[in-house]
Structure 1
């Protein structure tokens, strides 16, 4: 079922250490490489260092230093390829007043997120950019 996902590398950005470690561990069973970042600034730094290696970015929205929204805007404005970004937030999409939210995020998932839904969203996002 998940064999076609084994070549996907993910940048997972989450400021909550427990959630980050648990989710990254679960994702590592299905995907090739899971790179983690602790906040938006770390996410930008890791993405810039690993740009060509990252296939999908998964990010929390509310984080210290730089939000997932601002991090995603930075990534999108500095790459020439279409990089899928999946947002995960405790807030509904309506809580974020963003004119460009549809352009910024490939998918928007609400916490608590089922791991099967996240895996499906990552696979679907990857396929959209192939």
Structure 2
């Protein structure tokens, strides 16, 4: 299973990638939303993990593109340090499947990923 991980915080991105790879996933990691979106368009994936605030293209823009332009149901999990309820509601409105506030529990993230991937099979 291939995961696109778009997160501009180097430490968080590398630690999440290491954790997910240790659980058997292939992780393509990007610190920039534009590069992540190119990979989604060109290579495809089974799940997208994206921070909201990133250089280039935001996680919200990635989600909108996947839902509206690609017309895809690839599961999208949005990660954010924003605790604002409206941000969470907006994420769901544009088609995100899950919303996880930072700091992220890797164990909880894994449960949510597996749940989303199981419903797709």
- Could you tell me the TM-score, scaled by structure 2's length? 0.89
Compute the RMSD of aligned alpha carbons: 1.8
- 8 Å CA contact 2:88, 2:99 repeated in 1: no
Where does structure 1 differ by over 3 angstroms across 4 or more consecutive aligned residues? 97-100
1:108 aligns with 2:99: yes
Stretch of structure 1 that moved more, 94-103 or 15-24: 94-103
Identify the residue that residue 92 of structure 1 maps to in structure 2. Answer: 83
1:28 aligns with 2:29: no
Where in structure 2 are there 5+ consecutive unaligned residues?
none
Where in structure 1 are there 5+ consecutive unaligned residues?
1-7
Identify the residue that residue 7 of structure 2 maps to in structure 1. Answer: 14
Secondary structure of the equivalent of 2:49? strand
Q: Matches of residues 1-130 of structure 1 in structure 2 within 5 Å?
A: 8-51=1-44, 54-92=45-83, 94-96=85-87, 99=90, 101-130=92-121
- Could you tell me the TM-score, scaled by structure 1's length? 0.83
The 3 A distance-change label for structure 1 pair 110 and 100 is closer
